[in-house]
Amino acid sequence: MDLASFCSASRVVIVAGKGGVGKTTTAATLALVASRCGLDVLLVEVEGRVGAERLLGYEEQLGYEERQVQARAAGRGAIRARWLRADEALLEYLGDRGLGPISRRLAQSGALDVVATAVPGIRDILVLGKVKQLERAGTADLIIVDGPAAGHSLSFLSSAAGLLDAARIGPIRTQAEDVVALLADPARCQVMLVTLAEETPVNETVATGYTLEDQLRVALAPVVVNCWYPTFDAEVPEVGEAAPGVPPELRDALVHAATYRRRRHELQEAQLERLAEALALPRLFLPQLFGPARGLGPIGRLADAMAAGIAELAPA
């Protein structure tokens, strides 16, 4: 598949996965791949952690306003980043409607917490509504949302449909309808699931994928299999065999390392087979990096691997 076509297939990509599988790393990698195609990218972080922008070398604290992570250059698009918080989204929503003084009082009084308790899903709707607004405004060629972990991602993405049942009229229903329309249109939004080739992450990825497709009707991008150990073809010698040029004190360690590597790959292959049988989606592989995946060097290597995988996908 053509790289630019892949990155332009949807204007919003929400990256989701079980905690610890590397979805933030994947969001940063996808941002770099898209920027290499000349696309302007906006990274949106919604959970308050150190985000994908840090992996790309931006060390300053993010805020509600956009910050430039990578400037536009010859053949490369810009990368910007921002946080989205329900409180700030509500203040902006009210301020745009001439209710600025009231919104400030609401923020100081903690009224949003009361509303969030009374109307489940309202926080997620405020955040997704802002994403919808950014998408409609053409803020960037591609908006990448570093979404919640897989468990919360389901409630995050289903909040709009739930509020359609609860709110029959009014601005909340209008906002919910707009978000549902965004999520249901593959040209506007897709979800990219991230997993490890391990039993629990694969189980959760499969369950999340079915729920997103069958119940929420959200389009799924290829699944990213992170921390993949490439095929290991070297023969593992017996411990007692001679190893020319290798000191005896290192020989056992090398044999154990090679044995571990082969076994690790065999386990990954078994989990990959389970994933392929249960979830009929293309897969992209990001290799295991033996060191911090932080900075343009490591993320650049992951971007190279993602780009190579995309090139091997069948055209849409």
Tell me the per-residue pLDDT of 61-118, one tens digit each, with 9 for 90 and over. 888 889 999 999 988 999 999 998 877 776 666 666 554 565 566 656 655 554 555 4
Looking at residue 23, what is its pLDDT?
A: 93
238 confidence band (pLDDT: 50, 70, 90): low
Q: What is the mean pLDDT of residues 153-158?
A: 81
240 confidence band (pLDDT: 50, 70, 90): very low
Looking at residue 48, what is its pLDDT?
A: 61
More confident residue, 123 or 204: 204
Q: Out of 41-50, 108-117, 169-178, 271-280, which region has the weakest mean confidence (pLDDT)?
A: 108-117
Looking at residue 84, what is its pLDDT?
A: 87
Looking at residue 236, what is its pLDDT?
A: 52
Looking at residue 239, what is its pLDDT?
A: 47
Percent of the chain with pLDDT over 70: 79
Residue 57 has pLDDT above 70, yes or no: yes
Q: What is the mean pLDDT of residues 43-63?
A: 83
Looking at residue 248, what is its pLDDT?
A: 73
Looking at residue 307, what is its pLDDT?
A: 97
Q: What is the mean pLDDT of residues 227-246?
A: 63
Which one of 54-58, 114-118, 233-237, 246-250 scores highest in mean pLDDT?
Answer: 54-58
Looking at residue 121, what is its pLDDT?
A: 65
Name the superfamily (CATH) of residues 3-312: P-loop containing nucleotide triphosphate hydrolases (3.40.50.300)
Looking at residue 290, what is its pLDDT?
A: 80
Q: How far is CA 262 from CA 10, 103, 226, 231, 269, in A?
A: 38, 59, 18, 8, 11
More confident residue, 137 or 256: 137
The whole-chain average pLDDT of the chain stands at 83
Looking at residue 182, what is its pLDDT?
A: 94
